[in-house]
Amino acid sequence: MEQNQKTGKLLEVKDLHVSFFTPAGEVKAVGGISYDLNYDEVMGIVGESGSGKSVEAYSIIGLLQSPGKVVGGSITLEGEDVLAKSKEEMIALRGSKVAMIFQNPMTCLNPVYTIGNQLIEALKAHDKKVSKEEASKRAMEMLELVGINNVAKRMKQYPHELSGGMRQRVMIAMGLICHPQLLIADEPTTALDVTIQAQILELMKDLQKKTHMGIIFITHNLGVVAEICDKVSVMYAGKMVEQGPVDDIFYKPGHPYTMGLLRSMPRVDAESYERLIPIEGTPVDMLNPPEGCPFAPRCEYAMKICLQKMPPYVELGENHRSACWLRVQEQMEREKQGAAEQKEVPDHE
Amino acid sequence: MSEKNDILVQVDHLTKYFGIKGVKGPGVQAVEDVSLFIKRGETLGLVGESGCGKTTLGRTILQLHEPTSGTIVYDGQTIYQHEYPFEAKNVQVKGKDGAMHEQSVLVKKPVPRAKAVDMLPYRRKMQIIFQDPSASLDPRMTVGEIIGEALDIHKLCSTKKDRTDRIKELLSMVGLNTEHANRYPHEFSGGQQQRVGIARALAVRPEFIVCDEPISALDVSIQSQVVNMLEDMQQDLGLTYLFIAHDLSVVRHISNRIGVMYLGTLVELAESYELNKNPIHPYTKTLLSAVPVPDPEVSRTRQRIVLEGDIPSPMNPPTGCRFHTRCPYATEKCKEAVPQLKEHAPGHWAACHLLG
């Protein structure tokens, strides 16, 4: 299924706001995030549960459920405005251009239909003219592509007859059967064992190389991010606190939350015993988020201004930006110094 | 092995089968012939994939599941002893090709019943912290009642004031507000609920705690808080832990020694550092290489061994070495004979035919 390689911008999200209107009040699950994703690129979204990483992905594919609502911003996929599309257009878009795979394959596969049946259904939903034989042939090819053997037998099996890793492979096959440009993977390996996780990650890397699609990979496991992603967005309480190429995030983190996450994880290849440095405090109550930077109550560097105003983004390098007052301060000092030096130069002459 | 009084828990040939109604034979062979010891004051980590029997082993040691056979010795006292109630018999089975051929199956044999030991005094010394804090705390009891119940069962507090003081002391020990004793579990976050679970386990001043995946249900930023707290408790109270988890990096961090389980059997056991540097069992090697490292440079360069296939069913485990169906180095011998756990270097045990 080699495709013509496209380059450039695949997805552009601008200042996206998503809110849930609950009886207890408005929960701003996503509070203004922006990023773009190119073809042939894997972006990781990291964050704790409740940080809005899944909600953000659901709004791209139009699966946001009531009482959730996109209240601002834009999502542009291949030049088309996703949010302006009608229900029918969204149905046509889902599966054919954007596909999604979920955390728990057991709850996402229909237990009363065979694997083959479900794969063919996905294909027929977007291509009504395809014949039965053609559809089942393509379904079997797809299953082979995701590394399932004994395909003819598997087509007739039900989800409960397969193991967890196998089911996740079926989910991936189903997602890719219409050759989408964008794949959203919402914690696809979290429910799996490490050895099976390794299999699935290898498979996704391999498929990505073959198809050149863009992948948004949502996870809370930084190890997985290091493994598969080209760039990373770190989310905290609905805000994107840091964004950048994977190496920058791991080696030159600019936000205290990112630093804290990296420090608090034990590493399997650590040379000696080191006590973990946890991030103190508890995650934010999204019903009553703090004013200013949401991370400030847990941040060891928090200043007065952090509790009052949300910091703007500061460019820390190429495509690497972070929202933290510390970095703003540093930048201002640099500018001051630069200005002072510029002034000094003519004085000496 | 080291001196006898250093060993707090010793387990020999422990087996746990879960019988299935209507199915002849042993049923699910969750733990098969596991022998290990836990030294006083140390942390023994137990890792393996889901379904490998690590939780069952932990619970069987505490006798929350009644073992099928084996010996459990706690602090020099035998608290369980039972003969293996099955024997292998060769029977004629009709194969897929229709022909009859011989196959070895386990058949029940009559053995004397295990001697009953009153566990209540031992329950005071052995406690457990469960994986899912929200499921292991009674939603209709306040936190104070949950912790107090343990004190009542073992009659540890004579007066009402003693009891409330002790509950407050426990709450502050695990970093919770003492005024929270009147709240219900749902009013706490996941990390706080786990702290309540830990306070409950500590209430009876135990010596030995089985930590059954105590952090896997928690958020990443909270996990390290709980790990640090468990380490502090161990230091302050001189606790001995059996730490069960599937996350090798956490187990490696907290444990002195690590045991690796595969499909009910213990395949390797070594000092934590030694196991990570020189894993000798093929399964441990693959498990270690499968753990993602949060370092892009490292994950780009390192070689990974990816296992084919899935973990077989413990209802019908492979013959011989249970790992042979997925092992890249399996030989004919592995299919026939069960490898025994042998000491290959001081303190480094492994069960593999290839190691001789």
- B231 interface with A at CB cutoff 8 Å: yes
| Cross-chain Cβ contact A268/B286 below 8 Å | no
pLDDT digits (tens, 9 = 90+) for A164-195: 888 999 999 999 998 899 999 998 988 888 88
Task: Give pLDDT tens digits for A12-51.
Answer: 999 999 999 988 888 899 988 999 999 999 999 998 888 8
Mean local confidence (pLDDT), A266-289: 83
Shortest Cα–Cα distance, B188 to chain A (Å): 10
A276 lies within 8 A of chain B by CB: yes
- Chain A: nearest CA to B1, how far in angstroms? 25
On average, the pLDDT of chain B sits at 90
Query: Residue A275: closest CA among chain B residues belongs to which residue?
Result: B228
ipTM exceeding the 0.85 mark: no
Is the per-residue pLDDT at B164 higher than 90? yes
Q: Nearest 5 degrees, angle CA B67-CA B70-CA B71?
A: 105
C-alpha A39/C-alpha B309 separation (Å) is 32
Among A135-144, B97-106, B341-350, which stretch is predicted with the lowest mean pLDDT?
B97-106
For residue A345, what pLDDT band results from cuts at 50, 70 and 90?
Answer: low
Which pLDDT band, with edges at 50, 70 and 90, does A348 fall under? low
pLDDT at A1: 45
8 Å CB contact between B91 and B102: yes
Could you say which of A226, A260, A280 has the minimum Cβ distance to residue B292?
A: A226
SS3 category, B57: helix
Residues with Cβ within 8 Å of A287's Cβ and at least 6 positions away in sequence, in order, are A22, A24, A25, A27
Query: What confidence score (pLDDT) does residue A344 get?
Result: 66
Picking from B198, B288, B290, B185, the residue whose alpha carbon sits closest to that of residue B243 is B198
Q: What is the pLDDT of residues B142-156, one digit of tens each?
A: 999 999 999 999 999
Q: Are A229 and A246 in contact (CB under 8 A)?
A: yes
Chain B environment of A164 (Cβ under 8 Å): 310
- Average pLDDT, integer, range A338-349: 67
pLDDT of residue B313: 85
Confidence of residue A2 (pLDDT cuts 50, 70, 90): very low
Give the whole-angstrom CA distance, residue A192 versus residue A189.
5
Here the tokens at position B192 are 């706080």
- What element of type H or E holds B211? strand B208-212
Helical packing angle, B282-290 and A194-211, nearest 10° = 50
Q: Is A152 on the interface with B (CB under 8 A)?
A: no
Percent of chain B exceeding pLDDT 90 equals 61
Q: What is the pLDDT of residue A349?
A: 44
Of residues B4 and B187, which shows the higher confidence score?
Answer: B187
Partner-chain residue, chosen from A165, A220, A221, that has the shortest CB–CB distance to B292: A221
Count Cβ neighbours within 10 Å for each residue of B221-246 and write b for 16 or more, e otherwise: bbbbbbbbbbbebbeeeebbbbbbbb
Nearest Cβ partner for A227 among B247, B253, B292: B292
Confidence at B265, pLDDT banded by 50, 70, 90:
very high
**pLDDT at residue A268 in the model:** 78
Q: Is the pLDDT of residue B18 over 80?
A: yes
**Which chain B residue's Cα is nearest to A250?**
B295
* Alpha carbon distance B229, A124 (integer Å): 55
The 10s digit of each residue's pLDDT in A306-323 is 999 999 999 998 899 999
| Residue B246 pLDDT exceeds 90 | no
Q: Please state, in angstroms and rounded to a whole number, the distance separating the CA atoms of residues A204 and A143.
A: 14
At A347 the pLDDT is 53
- Asked if A247 lies within 8 A of B296 by C-beta distance, the reply is yes
- What pLDDT is attached to residue B266? 95
CA B180 – CA B206 distance, rounded (Å): 23
Mean pLDDT of A120-138: 89
- Angstroms from A95 CA to nearest CA on chain B: 28
Q: Which residue does chain B place closest to A49, by CA atoms?
A: B219
* Banded pLDDT at B196 (limits 50, 70, 90): very high
* Res A4: pLDDT: 55
**Please, is B15 exposed, middle or buried when counting C-beta atoms within 10 Å of its C-beta (0-12, 13-18, 19+)?**
buried
Separation in Å, CA B249 to CA A260, A265, B237, B353 = 17, 8, 25, 27
Residues 6+ apart with CB under 8 A from A55: A18, A29, A30, A64, A68
Please tell me the distance from the alpha carbon of residue B271 to that of residue B44, in angstroms, as a whole number: 9
- CB contact under 8 Å between A266 and B250, yes or no, is yes
B142-154: b or e for each residue (b if 16 or more CB lie within 10 Å)?
bbbebbbebbeee
pLDDT of residue B2: 44
Q: Which residue of B has its CA nearest to A274?
A: B253
pLDDT value of residue B1: 44
Angle at CA B136, nearest 5°, toward B130 and B139? Answer: 160
Predicted pLDDT at A295 = 93
Q: Is the pLDDT of residue B21 over 90?
A: no
Dump pLDDT digits (tens) for A195-227: 888 888 999 999 999 889 999 999 988 999 999
Residues A207/A42, Cβ–Cβ less than 8 Å: no
| Residues B8/B207, Cβ–Cβ less than 8 Å | yes
Supply the pLDDT for residue B106.
84
C-alpha gyration radius of chain A: 23
Sign, CA torsion A56/A61/A65/A67: positive
A contacts of B250 (beta carbons < 8 Å): 266
Q: Which of residues 32-91 of B touch A (CB under 8 A)?
A: 49-50
Asked whether A18 and A63 are in contact (CB, 8 A), the reply is: no
